[in-house]
Structure 1
Amino acid sequence: MPTLIGRRAVLGALAAPFLAGSAEARPPFRLREDPQPLLSPPILDEAGTTRKLDDFAGRVILLNIWATWCPPCREEMPTLDRLQSRLGGADFAVLPLCINDAGIGRGRRFYDEIGIFDLPLYWAEALRVQLALAFIGLPTTLLIDRKSREIGRLQGPFAWDSEDAVAQIVGAF
């Protein structure tokens, strides 16, 4: 015999997603108890210098892997810019790693189009980044400790300038 569901139950179930708190009302990372060493692909900066992740050791790094053709990446980029403006310095840096096939120039045009002012720009070959950092989708963001070890990873976009994100990142200092 079929079970009848009342109108209120159906309406409540349909409204629940709209009543729930924001997905960003939480810290972005489940922090690792066992920080993992990372391989580094060659990373190119805008001056043409090739770098490795170890070149950024000594600071906490938020490594964001993104591409200009990725809508969620485009959406979260201003929040990364605001995070860098707020926390960037001797203890912390955002390292946005563009993996566009068109190279670093396409990343610069995107920054200029949407008004990114405080983020540096880095580029690496997509395949090398995928092999070194074992990510699946874009955007993927890694929280890296002062010894260049991964302590957190998030796949998907996030409001990086939210108070929860800032608190968790500052706690990693």
Structure 2
Amino acid sequence: MGRRPLLVGLVAGFIAGPAQARPPFRLRKDPQPLLSPPIQDEAGTTRVLGDFAGRVILLNIWATWCPPCREEMPALDRLEGLLGGPDFAVLPLCIDEGGIERGRGFYDEIGLVNLPLYWAEPLRVQLALAFIGLPTTLLIDRETREIGRLQGPFDWGSDEAVRQISDLL
């Protein structure tokens, strides 16, 4: 056997398939407690992640100036419409410097109807949740512990995403 076919065969096992062909999260076997930045809702109430305990939370950190964030918001809206309730919630956390008003303008512009809107100061979110880029999505268990993290966009309407979250409920 020649060198090239051997290398191709070895490398083929390491090439990832399309993101939609697998669940979004590798679930942690050791759920990690999370620090919480102060989170503001649209009514102006300051909250923390512990306020959402008892539900599985999909915490999506995003900004209006982030193209991949903007692209995945409609799918997150549909996911909240499909699974949202007493056992599950999408918590979209806007970190725009312009505050929650900028996020509201974006929601209105593209017609999001199922997602609540939350905002937090970017630096405080960065320090508390130690993320690198946007969007970043954390899967949080009912005790407010991180059980999964995904850097980058994902098709939240995919069967794999819905199945993985449904299995946790």
Q: Which residue type is aligned with residue 80 of structure 1?
A: L
Q: Does 1:134 align with 2:113?
A: no
Partner residue of 1:152? 148
Aligned equivalent of 1:54, options 50, 66, 91 = 50
Equivalents in 1 of 2:133, 2:113: separation in Å? 26
User: Could you report, residue by residue, the CA deviation over 1:64-123 in whole angstroms, capped at 9, with x for unpaired residues?
Assistant: 000000000000000000000000000000000000000000000000001101000000
TM-score, length-scaled by structure 2: 0.90
Partner residue of 2:161? 165
> Matched residues, percent identical?
79
Equivalents in 2 of 1:170, 1:136: separation in Å? 27
Q: Does 1:100 align with 2:96?
A: yes
Partner residue of 1:42? 38
Equivalents in 1 of 2:138, 2:71: separation in Å? 18
CA shift, 1:21, in A, is: 5.3
Aligned equivalent of 1:143, options 130, 139, 144 = 139
Equivalents in 2 of 1:172, 1:132: separation in Å? 25
- Give unmatched runs, 5+ long, in structure 1: 6-19
Partner residue of 1:116? 112
CA shift, 1:22, in A, is: 3.0
Equivalents in 2 of 1:59, 1:168: separation in Å? 15
Partner residue of 1:11? none
Aligned equivalent of 1:24, options 15, 20, 25 = 20
Aligned equivalent of 2:121, options 101, 121, 125 = 125
Equivalents in 1 of 2:119, 2:137: separation in Å? 15
- Give unmatched runs, 5+ long, in structure 2: 5-15
- Alignment length, in residue pairs? 157
SS at match of 1:169: helix
Equivalents in 1 of 2:82, 2:168: separation in Å? 15
Q: Does 1:68 align with 2:34?
A: no
User: Could you report, residue by residue, the CA deviation over 1:108-156 in whole angstroms, capped at 9, with x for unpaired residues?
Assistant: 0000001101000000000000000000000000000000000000000
Equivalents in 2 of 1:92, 1:160: separation in Å? 14
Equivalents in 2 of 1:152, 1:43: separation in Å? 20
TM-score, length-scaled by structure 1: 0.88
Partner residue of 1:17? none
